[in-house]
Amino acid sequence: MSAEETTHRGVRWQRDEAGRLRFYDSEGQRWVTWAPGVDAPPLPPGWGRRRGFTSMPRPGWRSGWRLVPLAFIVIVLIIAVIQATRSSGNPVKKESAATAALLNKCLAQHGTADGHPKYSSKPVACTSPEAAVEVVRVIPTTPGSPLCPAGTTGVILPYAGVQYPHVLCVRDVHASG
């Protein structure tokens, strides 16, 4: 058996013709065959990959395992672009439809803001103890719009993306009884 021998960091190393490595364990006073994962001293420079026996071959760039993360990223980017460019619809039309749907419905009060009552945008049954006001008219907030009728109060429910939301003319549920 012909073996190449070297000393690296005070440790004697041997490599045979088949590429097998072994190092001399001075504490155990024996030669130990080196294998990946074995608790061993550092390999001599250039001995780790010289004959390719110590490193696992890496998959090619076009292998499935390398393309899966890239495909995932591309799919996420496509979804993000679609969501960013897709219109969420006209918020003014949605607000108009939503407020028109509240006509002759009752709303529950949910606290106050700056001393004024806040109302839910979801209707409740007018017979419910939660019902505080009834919507008797819906008016646009454009210039020249009529005012709420006598005995009612104007309420505006904020709606995202709408600069001039409709005014809900409401009256106390107990007063209409």
Residue pLDDT tens, the chain, 177 long: 567 888 888 888 888 887 788 888 888 788 888 877 777 787 888 777 544 444 555 656 666 677 788 889 999 999 999 888 887 777 888 888 888 888 999 999 888 888 888 888 888 998 888 889 999 999 888 777 888 889 898 888 888 888 888 899 999 887 654
Are residue 79 and residue 118 in the same domain, yes or no?
A: no
Q: Could you give the number of structural domains in the chain?
A: 3
How many CB atoms are closer than 10 A to CB 13?
A: 22
Are residue 8 and residue 48 in the same domain, yes or no?
A: yes
What pLDDT score was predicted for residue 1? 56
Are residue 77 and residue 137 in the same domain, yes or no?
A: no
Measure the CA–CA gap between 12 and 31, rounded to whole angstroms.
9
Are residue 3 and residue 74 in the same domain, yes or no?
A: no
Q: Which residue range is the domain that position 164 belongs to?
A: 92-176
This prediction's pTM: 0.47
Q: What angle do CA 54, 59, 64 make, to 5 degrees?
A: 155
Are residue 107 and residue 171 in the same domain, yes or no?
A: yes
| Residue finishing a domain among 86, 104, 136 | 86
What pLDDT score was predicted for residue 51? 47
Are residue 105 and residue 168 in the same domain, yes or no?
A: yes
| Residue 37 DSSP symbol | T
- Cite the beta strand spans of 58-152 per DSSP E: 106-113, 116-124, 131-139
Are residue 6 and residue 24 in the same domain, yes or no?
A: yes
